[in-house]
């Protein structure tokens, strides 16, 4: 019997030794270990500290430059090199992985002042199209996430968000067991991973940990417990023996053992993994039993750790924590003779990856097109369609909702230097509606598959070197919905007789011979007309913009005036009202009775022509009582002018600054004006199709008519969003300093929340009557100054003293609250204009109630005000 017991004991220890050996000598199977910036000639190498094999990242990314960190303190070789990304907004690593596997993904950074600027970089990290984390290298240098892959391609992207340049030192992927960490409810972003060893500093990692998790040696300053015996781990987590041999227990055996976890936001949800093993020798009558609590919720009641065997407990549902702090607690039960004991803790934030990746067939097609033509477009990295702010240049996508994969519906590869035949990969874009391959060097015939693509309706093949007959399928009447243009392909035969034509033509697929003749005749007339015209500045601008040599009229609607009529309206430009970047603004009068303001484009203003065109296009199609009305325009050769309604009471800024003289506007008047302005902006954002962003909301662009009704003006910088569900555009930054959305300034990503920010500045102006930028005060920018005053509790000095407390305090403070929410630096945290408008209307109702329903228009009646001021002053040109 004794021999059997000894044999069983020997076999047991032998089994434990084998398990430990497997853990101690893993084979790195499935590991991806990249030393970013490592010269290919030095790859691969074995890290002397960990024994891990690292390779250069050269084959996994198409952009970036190599650098060397000046950090001499790191012990890991892979932190010596780095890759930085001075070009483009999004730069992505492309990694081949196994689909449906949990991966630990770790990005490491060692800035080391490699660029000599001594400014810690700040940027975002994305997994595919979804935000992983905002990186600030002033703090810890590693970022880690556990993520289940959705395909065999994994993209890790660095996204520029400010003035600093993204960089990375190492990128590591470690496959985990799918039955361990719960990623079904969302990826897990590591908050901390601690092994309670009684010491602080340094990591337990590979080769002790077969998954190469980095366990921080931690001292909780309670009672340290440890053993020299081996601790086994047979559950899916495979906690290393080096972690499980130590633990911590409360100094006071009767009190709970508590830990804390600080979250970034109150709305964060967390998963916590508690790792236990009984490593103390217990007497026969000893019992260790305790309840495991997370934020007051019991994870497990009456738990007893197993002797020399690691076990893991965790919350099955993500947990929110009050006030951004999670309390983890182990409470001894009444029957327990020993205090709680824990060996290690891992805490994670559960992320919400909202974006579905672009349809994989579309992605594969775009990759094939990119490879076939050798396209090296810096923005063509990461997911083609999402996030929408970062979608690839030259394509448009359809968006049903965030959880439905987007589809590519338009591709514009005009003037991209394409050579060779039209690749069959295009036909794999099955939802494509528009394809532009013009101005390239494509050869061969027009492929028949283009005619069979069910969604494709517009095909532009102009100015290539295509040859041969046009496939008969394009002449099929059933294909009458397709429009094919093939101008500038002299060796391409398109008519029934298939004779070579050297003419330049634009040919709809089902065009009749008569329509072809009409097109040719129109082109001849344009050429003749051009020869008779004298060249102008606008002509040269049009040529640069690849328009026809003779610019046709911009608009065919009514309200168009000749230049001679404009001269007459303004009495030969006698009265100058203002001057800006667009040109000079003059006073005019239609029929001697209707006053107008006339903006005349300066001959030297190249940008002004674009603004002029944008403003006329917008005002011709929008109509709202709180938007300035277009009276007419002039587009005659080099003479461009815009005529809009005259505002006899000037702009809001003039009244806030006292420039117009008289008594200052009362609070009720200011509130009514901003409510009306908000209504105009709300109309642009929600009432227009497609939606519009003004881009230059400011008090000088809020005009006041004879009844002091607000009219939002100056639409030269306005931009519309494309159809198809897009909610933003990427564009060069434009606007007025002080009013400019800082997020838009950093990222070039424009959406309606940029107008919300500018409107928030307007709200702060009506409350304070102070300049938006004033270098002499504590905080030069008005938003920062108001925030600073609020933190000091100095609310009284924020309000314009000229209001003489003649306002409903609740109304004013609510407006201040709205203003501060509008100027939040993060656009996602700002309200939209519909929400702002509704809240401001409530404030106006409060103020009117205080006044018994009266709506004051200022210190005088609206009639007095409209007659007391000269009509000389009008809105200034920008």
| Weakest-pLDDT range from 278-292, 493-507, 574-588, 757-771 | 493-507
> Stretch 167-193: mean pLDDT, rounded?
95
Out of 235-244, 621-630, 633-642, 807-816, give the one with best mean pLDDT. 235-244
> What's residue 851's pLDDT?
67
Is 257 in contact with 222 (CB distance < 8 Å)?
yes
462 backbone dihedrals φ, ψ, rounded to 5°: -55, 150
Choice between 848 and 395, residue whose per-residue pLDDT is larger: 395
- The CA distance from 644 to 632, in Å, is 7
> What's residue 681's pLDDT?
94
Q: The tokens 């008569």 sit on which residue?
A: 514
Quickly list H helices, 453-536. Answer: 513-532
Q: Which CATH class is domain 192-350?
A: mainly beta
Q: What is the pLDDT of residues 88-131, one digit of tens each?
A: 999 999 999 999 999 999 999 999 899 999 999 999 999 999 99
Using CB atoms within 10 A of its CB, is residue 878 exposed (0-12), middle (13-18) or buried (19+)? buried
- The CA distance from 474 to 456, in Å, is 12
Out of 172-186, 523-537, 565-579, give the one with best mean pLDDT. 172-186
Choice between 344 and 810, residue whose per-residue pLDDT is larger: 344
Question: Which CATH superfamily includes the segment(s) 546-646?
Answer: Phosphorylase Kinase; domain 1 (3.30.200.20)
> Stretch 751-766: mean pLDDT, rounded?
95
> What's residue 649's pLDDT?
87
Using CB atoms within 10 A of its CB, is residue 696 exposed (0-12), middle (13-18) or buried (19+)? buried
> What's residue 25's pLDDT?
40
Report whether 419 belongs to an annotated binding site: no
Distances (CA, A) of 516 to 394, 487, 507, 683: 30, 12, 7, 43
First to last CA, the chain: 101
In the chain, where does the domain assigned CATH 1.10.510.10 lie? 649-878
| Weakest-pLDDT range from 68-77, 191-200, 690-699, 762-771 | 68-77
- 75 CB neighbour count, 10 Å cutoff: 10
Confidence of residue 60 (pLDDT cuts 50, 70, 90): very high
Q: Is the pLDDT of residue 9 over 60?
A: no
In the chain, where does the domain assigned CATH 3.30.200.20 lie? 546-646
From 159, 165, 167, select the one nearest 391 (Cα to Cα): 159
Choice between 558 and 77, residue whose per-residue pLDDT is larger: 77
Give the orientation angle of helix 782-792 with respect to helix 752-768, to 10 degrees: 60
Confidence of residue 523 (pLDDT cuts 50, 70, 90): low
Element (H, E) at 241: helix 241-244
- The CA distance from 785 to 797, in Å, is 11
**Percentage of the chain exceeding pLDDT 70:** 81
Q: Is the pLDDT of residue 28 over 80?
A: yes
What six digits make up the tokens of 398? Answer: 């359809």
Q: What is the pLDDT of residues 672-685, one digit of tens each?
A: 999 999 999 999 89
> What's residue 488's pLDDT?
87
Is 416 in contact with 126 (CB distance < 8 Å)?
no
| Strands of the sheet with 130-136, listed across from one edge | 90-96, 153-160, 122-127, 130-136
- The CA distance from 47 to 172, in Å, is 13
Strands 215-218 and 188-196: parallel
**Percentage of the chain exceeding pLDDT 90:** 50
From 702, 706, 758, 767, select the one nearest 735 (Cα to Cα): 758
CATH number at 360-527 = 3.80.10.10
> What's residue 555's pLDDT?
40
Out of 5-9, 22-26, 479-483, give the one with best mean pLDDT. 479-483
Q: Is the pLDDT of residue 585 over 90?
A: no
Domain 649-878 bears CATH identifier 1.10.510.10: yes
How large is the C-alpha radius of gyration of the chain?
A: 35
**Residue partners of 371: CB distance under 8 A and separation at least 6:** none
In the chain, where does the domain assigned CATH 2.60.120 lie? 32-175, 192-350
In the chain, where does the domain assigned CATH 3.80.10.10 lie? 360-527
Domain 32-175 bears CATH identifier 2.60.120: yes
From 311, 324, 323, 316, select the one nearest 297 (Cα to Cα): 316
Question: For all residues of the chain together, what is the average pLDDT?
Answer: 82
> What's residue 476's pLDDT?
66
What six digits make up the tokens of 435? Answer: 């394809």
The catalytic residue positions are 696
């Amino acid at each position: 019997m004794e021999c059997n017991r000894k044999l069983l004991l020997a076999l047991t220890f032998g089994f434990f030794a084998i398990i430990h050996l497997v853990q101690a000598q893993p084979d790195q199977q499935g590991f991806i270990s990249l030393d970013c910036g490592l010269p290919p000639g030095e790859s691969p190498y074995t890290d002397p500290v960990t024994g891990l094999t690292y390779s250069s990242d050269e084959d996994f990314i198409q952009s970036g430059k190599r650098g060397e960190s000046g950090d001499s303190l790191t012990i890991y070789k892979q932190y010596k090199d780095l890759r930085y990304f001075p070009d483009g907004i999004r730069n992505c690593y492309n990694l081949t992985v196994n689909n449906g596997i949990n991966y630990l993904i770790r990005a490491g950074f060692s800035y080391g002042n490699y660029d000599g600027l001594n400014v810690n970089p700040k940027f975002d990290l994305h997994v595919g199209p979804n935000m992983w984390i905002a990186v600030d290298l002033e703090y810890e240098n590693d970022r880690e996430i556990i993520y289940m892959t959705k395909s065999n391609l994994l993209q890790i992207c660095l996204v520029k968000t400010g003035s600093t340049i993204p960089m990375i030192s190492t990128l590591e992927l470690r496959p985990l067991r799918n039955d361990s960490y719960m990623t079904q409810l969302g990826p897990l972003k590591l908050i901390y991973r601690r092994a309670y060893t009684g010491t602080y500093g340094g990591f337990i990692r590979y080769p002790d940990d077969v998954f190469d998790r980095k366990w921080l040696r931690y001292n909780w300053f309670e009672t340290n417990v440890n053993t020299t015996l081996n601790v086994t781990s047979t559950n899916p987590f495979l906690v290393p023996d080096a972690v499980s041999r130590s633990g911590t227990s409360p100094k006071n055996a009767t009190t709970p053992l508590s830990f804390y976890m600080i979250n970034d936001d109150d709305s964060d949800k967390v998963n916590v993994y508690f790792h236990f093993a009984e490593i103390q020798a217990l007497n026969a009558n000893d019992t260790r039993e305790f309840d495991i609590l997370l934020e007051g919720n019991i994870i497990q009641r009456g738990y007893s750790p197993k002797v020399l065997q690691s076990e893991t407990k965790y919350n099955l549902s993500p947990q929110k924590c009050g006030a951004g702090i999670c309390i983890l607690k182990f409470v001894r039960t009444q029957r327990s003779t020993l205090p709680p004991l824990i060996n290690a803790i891992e805490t994670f934030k559960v992320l919400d990856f909202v974006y579905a990746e672009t349809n994989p067939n579309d992605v594969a097609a775009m990759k094939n097109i990119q490879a076939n033509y050798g396209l090296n477009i810096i923005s063509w990295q990461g997911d083609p369609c999402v996030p929408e702010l970062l979608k690839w240049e030259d394509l448009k996508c359809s968006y049903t909702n965030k959880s439905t994969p987007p589809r590519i519906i338009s591709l514009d590869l005009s003037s991209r230097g394409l050579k060779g035949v039209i690749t069959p990969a295009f036909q794999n874009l099955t939802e494509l509606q528009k394809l532009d391959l013009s101005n390239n060097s494509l050869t061969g015939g027009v492929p028949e598959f283009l005619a069979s693509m069910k969604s494709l309706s517009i095909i532009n093949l102009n100015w290539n070197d295509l040859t041969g007959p046009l496939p008969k399928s394009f002449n099929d009447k059933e294909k009458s919905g397709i429009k094919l243009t093939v101008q500038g392909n002299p060796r391409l035969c398109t008519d029934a007789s298939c004779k070579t034509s050297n003419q330049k033509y634009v040919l709809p697929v089902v065009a009749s011979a008569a329509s072809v003749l009409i097109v040719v005749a129109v082109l001849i007339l344009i050429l003749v007309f051009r020869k008779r015209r004298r060249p102008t500045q606008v002509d040269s601008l049009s040529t640069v913009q690849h328009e026809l040599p003779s610019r046709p009229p911009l608009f065919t609607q009514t309200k168009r005036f000749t230049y001679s009529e404009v001269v007459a309206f303004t009495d030969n430009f006698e009265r100058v009202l203002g001057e800006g970047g667009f040109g000079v603004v003059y006073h005019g009068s239609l029929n001697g009775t209707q006053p107008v303001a006339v903006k005349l484009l300066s001959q030297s203003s190249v940008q002004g022509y674009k603004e002029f065109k944008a403003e006329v296009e917008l005002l011709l199609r929008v109509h709202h009582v709180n938007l300035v009305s277009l009276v007419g325009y002039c587009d005659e050769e080099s003479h461009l002018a815009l005529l809009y309604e005259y505002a006899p009471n000037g702009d809001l800024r003039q009244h806030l600054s006292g420039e117009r003289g008289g008594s200052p506007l009362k609070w009720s008047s200011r509130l009514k004006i901003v409510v009306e302005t908000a209504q105009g902006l709300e109309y642009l954002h929600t009432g227009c199709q497609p939606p519009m962003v003004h881009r230059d909301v400011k008090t000088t662009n809020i005009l006041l008519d004879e009844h002091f009704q607000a009219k939002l003006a100056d639409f030269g910088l306005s931009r519309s969003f494309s159809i198809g569900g897009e909610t933003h555009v990427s564009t060069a930054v434009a606007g007025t300093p002080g009013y400019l959305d800082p997020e838009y300034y950093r990222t070039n990503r424009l959406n309606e929340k940029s107008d919300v920010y500018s409107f928030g500045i307007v709200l702060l102006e009506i409350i304070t009557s102070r300049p938006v930028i004033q270098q002499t005060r504590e905080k030069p920018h008005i938003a920062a100054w108001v925030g600073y005053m609020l933190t000091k509790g100095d609310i009284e000095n924020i309000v314009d003293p000229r209001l003489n407390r003649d306002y409903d305090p609740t109304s004013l403070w609510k407006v201040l609250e709205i203003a501060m929410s509008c100027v939040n630096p993060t656009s996602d945290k700002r309200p939209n204009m519909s929400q702002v408008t509704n809240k401001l209307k409530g404030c106006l109702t409060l103020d009117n109630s205080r006044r018994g329903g009266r709506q004051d228009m200022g210190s005088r009646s609206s009639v007095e005000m409209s007659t007391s001021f000269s009509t000389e002053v009008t809105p200034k040109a920008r």
